[in-house]
Amino acid sequence: MARAYDLRSILFVLVAFVGAVVVLRDLRYDFAFVGDMRAAELSRRTQEVTATMTSTVMQTEKTMVTETIQVASDPPPAEKANAAFVILTRNKDLKDLRETLVQLEDRFNRRYKYPYVFLNNEPFSDTFKEKIQGMVSGECQFGLIPEEHWSYPEYIDQTRAAEARKDMQDRKVIYGGNESYRHMCRYESGFFFRHPLMDQYKWYWRVEPGVKFGCEIDYDPFLFMERNNKKYGFTISIKEVIETIPTLWNTTMDFMNKHKEMIPAANLMDFVTDKKGDYNRCHFWSNFEIGSLDFLRSDQYMAYFDHLDRAGGFFYERWGDAPVHSLGVSMFLNKNEVHWFEDIGYFHGPLWNCPKGEANKKCWCSEEESIEIKNPAWSCTLNFKDLPAPKL
């Protein structure tokens, strides 16, 4: 009798152990799956667990347990800004873009359903549009860039531009020989906000294919900007490669000397200059921007862009939209109007902005990877943070 009891006890413990291993294995798989897929796409999940119970007479019966979890669709918030995501992309970027949008939707937009504007210098394919529309919660608009916004102005010497590309390629300057990259930088500097699809909006959030969002964004950055009188927001700031912009600073100083009336006394020029007043190459990395379209459409910024465009540095050198935007922001805005989104986990290879301390609990990125910690000599973010508040 005691031996039969012992046998039953041993069998029961053995069966319980095997069942626990199976469940843990399934849970581990389940969590990995959820980590890869956005919550908005999980409308139903069914988990089947087969438990085997063994009796003292060695009879076996199988019990099927089915668990169905309903993931409710988040209702849109009561208040939203007049805003959109803007994405300059190509048909061949589809895979990278979908991976980015899965994260952006999961971390933020599934709750807010802001619209998307996709821009391309070539027509989007039907496949591209179908696969994008099927995975995002907001309205999608697909725009073709006007040829005059993605071509050489009549005042550009194309032979000189080609020679400049060859020289920079020979010197191994990053993107030095890339013609399309120059058109992209010029377009992002002075034209994307003039596309007709952008006319209806007051705020934009720039997104690029392949970037990652490492944290839950549990508030609306657009409304934060609007309610706090901010006009430009960033996550990462670094120093530009000087070989790409050898004359940009002098061209900017020429503009400032000719248009002193446009430059407010309270500005952010200390961010882009050192203690001697020389250009320090600091700029906001513009692959992530949340900003005011009214600022970019302003007479001051447009005058600055036109001055740069006439100088030809987008083609004769390799002026990037990041230093151009940053110099415009530094001239015309003050520190109170610019915001570091320290709490938004963001990656654009090879750099991270990752929240620190308590804010990191809602992230999967490591705060030690953040550029201002990992490589403070390259980062300009703490320079921005330490600037005093403006005297208005």
φ/ψ bin of 319: left (φ > 0), alpha (ψ from -120 to 50), beta (otherwise)? beta
The per-residue DSSP string of 191-236 comes to TGGGSGGGTT-SEEEE--TT-EE-B---S-HHHHHHHTT--EEES-
Please, are residues 370 and 352 in contact by the beta-carbon 8 Å criterion?
A: yes
What is the spatial distance between Cα 108 and Cα 212, in angstroms, rounded to a whole number? 12
Exactly one of 105, 226, 240, 289 is catalytic; which is it?
289
C-alpha closest to that of 341 among 321, 319, 324, 363: 363
- How deeply is 259 buried, as exposed, middle or buried, from its count of CB atoms within 10 A (0-12, 13-18, 19+)? middle
Q: How many CB atoms lie within 10 A of CB 271?
A: 21
79 is catalytic: no
d(CA 185, CA 324): 9
- Residue 350, SS3 per DSSP: coil
- β-pairing, 346-348 vs 212-213, is antiparallel
Q: Measure Cα distances from 142 to 43, 115, 238 in Å.
A: 27, 11, 32
Which SS3 state, helix, strand or coil, does residue 364 take?
coil
Known catalytic residues are: 289
